[in-house]
Structure 1
Amino acid sequence: MRILVCGGTGFIGRHIVDSLKQAGHEPVQRSRRTAPPLDFSKALTAEAWLPHLAGIDAVINAVGVLRDSAGRPLQAMHADAPIALFDACAAAGVRRVVQISALGIAHSATRYASTKRAADEHLLALTEQGRLNGCVLRPSVVFGAGGASSQLFLALARLPALLLPRAVLQARVQPVAVRDLADAVARVAGSDAPSGLVEIGGPEALPLADLIASLRAQMGHRPACVGALPGWLSRASARAGDGLPWSPWCSETLALLESDNVTDPAALERWLGRPGVAPGQLLATLRRD
């Protein structure tokens, strides 16, 4: 199958491209640097997408940004462009569409979550109408080489003493190795089985602080001294992160951590045909990535 991968040069997208190749598919990447070029933030109508769908059998949207910027506004990147893409797929007869979303956005009031939900709901509505065979994948925290949050976790794991926001100490996540997610996406995209909304989590749920502690143990270090950051200081640090476009720590992240990010691991196992990588084995995946 020729599969269009939007966001194919990003953290998750490039692993999806590799998995598609290994599965025998032909991934087609589009960006501002490809020929023909495609600026995702400006492809806001179905007509803008139609030329890029010629000869395409399926579409994967792996585009995601954490915060607004002039070049990559959340509304355009998460909602307007994907909605236009899904409408174009329906018009062009490209039925299989996979949307990479995020676990934990269902009830979040953040702009990240609300814009993601808008595209998710549009794809699911088109699927309900029989115009597409869409799948919305919502993974928990994704871990792997090149991921901004993964790099932050690794940096924190190297420190012998930590003051962590209470949300980080308490909120549970279900980390997914990026290669596991990519392999699952490749199988979903290559299947015509109805799938709808699918939540993806690794084999074990644990507080984010415990994930950091596990990574430290996998590095061979003794346990760190960990304390709780006062609430006001947690909020202040998140606001400081708002001014650092490259940092995954910001007010949006803090708000998203106010609820657990967990689900049944059976969906990932079903698509992989095996259990996912456990948290205690995540560090070893970096050498394979």
Structure 2
Amino acid sequence: MYILLTGSRGFIGRTFKQALERAGHTVLGGVSPGRSPGPGECVMDFAHDTRPEVWLPRLQGVDAVINTVGVLRDSRSRPIDAVHRDTPIALFSACAQAGVKRVLQISALGIEGSPTRYASTKRAADQHLLGLAAAPGGPSAVVLRPSVVFGHGGASSAMFMGLARLPLAVFPGPMLTAKVQPVSVHDLAEGVVALLGPALEQRGIIECTGPAPLSLGELVASLRAQSGHGPAWVLRLPDVLTALSARLGDLAPASVPWCSETLAMLGSDNVGNPARFEALLGHAATPSGELVARAWRH
């Protein structure tokens, strides 16, 4: 297939691009403004490309579209409403107009019922795509909703690995209780390749998770053990200081994963049923106890 892949130099997009090309596909990669596009790339501005007509010329001859672009929080250069909602909606509408056969949207687990801007904007794009797919002549579409995506190059993965190196760790309270089911970025890429090949008939929403839930505190402890370190001393940060640290995170660069939006999302578990995802892979997903060897060092 000839595939348009947004965010092709990002953590997830870069892994997808490598897997897709290994599978024999040709990829047109989207890069952010300010970066020089290389061969097989073009600039795609998710802060401003909010009209379908901007996307139509890019879709000429395209068989499939994969959207991997996402931000954790709002910023002037990458407004969350445009990046998560307005531009993806324009892209998906253009796909329907251009007759693109297959559209994959990388969303997020745990957004149903969440009041955060992250969740509401992601939901809006997901619902728009699924509505287009349900219409006569609409594209065949899949919304993938992963739990925490783990791998080398991911900002949250780097934060967890950094915490795992500390002999004394002070965690915000929700990190010790909120449950996640981290998924290897390589498993996620393998699932995407399958959806453009042997699983081409699959549609709808697929939860993408590891085999079993654990708290973020347990995840960090597991990563520490996998890295060859003994147990760490763990202290709970008081709630007042947790809220203050999140507000300070709001002032940090947008690439820093700890902020008020993150804290709000920790108010609910990020877990799901891995059965459909593992059926898509044809094998069990990478367990949390093997993430360092199979996702971080791979």
2:50 aligns to what? 44
Q: Distance in 1 between matches of 2:161 and 2:233?
A: 16
Q: Distance in 2 between matches of 1:74 and 1:189?
A: 28
Matched, 1:155 2:151: no
Specify every segment of 5 or more residues in structure 2 that has no aligned partner in the other structure, as ranges.
none
Matched, 1:271 2:280: yes
Q: Distance in 2 between matches of 1:60 and 1:286?
A: 22
- Secondary structure at the aligned position of 1:162 is classed as strand
Q: Percent of aligned pairs with the same residue?
A: 54
Q: Distance in 1 between matches of 2:3 and 2:168?
A: 46
Matched, 1:29 2:29: yes
1:17-53 deviation digits (Å, cap 9, x = unpaired): 1111121111110223336433222211110000100
- 1:235-250 aligned at under 5 Å gives the runs 235-245=243-253, 246-250=255-259
Query: 1:98·1:189 contact (CA, 8 Å) conserved in 2?
Result: no
Moved more, 96-105 or 187-196: 187-196
1:286–1:193: structure 2 CA closer, same or farther, 3 Å change rule?
A: closer
TM-score (norm: length of structure 2): 0.94
- Secondary structure at the aligned position of 1:134 is classed as strand
Q: Distance in 2 between matches of 1:13 and 1:160?
A: 33
1:196-251 deviation digits (Å, cap 9, x = unpaired): 11111111211110000000001111111112111111111111111112310011
1:73–1:282: structure 2 CA closer, same or farther, 3 Å change rule?
A: same
Matched, 1:97 2:106: no
1:118–1:164: structure 2 CA closer, same or farther, 3 Å change rule?
A: same
- Secondary structure at the aligned position of 2:143 is classed as strand
1:135–1:181: structure 2 CA closer, same or farther, 3 Å change rule?
A: same
Q: Distance in 1 between matches of 2:116 and 2:85?
A: 14
Match of 1:234 among 239, 242, 255: 242
Moved more, 205-214 or 36-45: 36-45
- Secondary structure at the aligned position of 2:47 is classed as helix
2:291 aligns to what? 282
- 1:81-96 aligned at under 5 Å gives the runs 81-96=87-102
1:200 aligns to what? 208
Query: 2:206·2:277 contact (CA, 8 Å) conserved in 1?
Result: no
1:35-84 deviation digits (Å, cap 9, x = unpaired): 64332222111100001001100000000011111111101110000000
Match of 2:69 among 63, 71, 84: 63
Query: 2:209·2:274 contact (CA, 8 Å) conserved in 1?
Result: yes
Specify every segment of 5 or more residues in structure 1 that has no aligned partner in the other structure, as ranges.
none
Q: Distance in 2 between matches of 1:36 and 1:29?
A: 6
Query: 2:2·2:26 contact (CA, 8 Å) conserved in 1?
Result: yes
Moved more, 203-212 or 123-132: 123-132
One-letter identity of the residue aligned with 2:141? G
- Secondary structure at the aligned position of 1:86 is classed as helix
- Secondary structure at the aligned position of 2:230 is classed as coil
Query: 1:61·1:99 contact (CA, 8 Å) conserved in 2?
Result: yes
Q: Distance in 1 between matches of 2:65 and 2:145?
A: 16
1:6 aligns to what? 6
Q: Distance in 2 between matches of 1:226 and 1:42?
A: 44
1:177 aligns to what? 184
1:126-160 deviation digits (Å, cap 9, x = unpaired): 11223121111000000000000000000100111
- Secondary structure at the aligned position of 2:43 is classed as coil
One-letter identity of the residue aligned with 1:272? L
Q: Distance in 2 between matches of 1:189 and 1:80?
A: 25
Moved more, 143-152 or 229-238: 229-238
One-letter identity of the residue aligned with 1:264? N
CA RMSD of aligned residues (A): 1.3
Query: 2:152·2:297 contact (CA, 8 Å) conserved in 1?
Result: no
Q: Distance in 2 between matches of 1:42 and 1:160?
A: 45
1:115 aligns to what? 121
2:223 aligns to what? 215
Q: Distance in 2 between matches of 1:236 and 1:36?
A: 40
TM-score (norm: length of structure 1): 0.97
Displacement of 1:95 in angstroms is 2.4
1:16 aligns to what? 16
Match of 1:189 among 173, 193, 196: 196
Matched, 1:146 2:173: no
Q: Distance in 1 between matches of 2:297 and 2:248?
A: 34
Q: Distance in 2 between matches of 1:115 and 1:95?
A: 24
- Provide the aligned length of Structure 1 versus Structure 2: 289
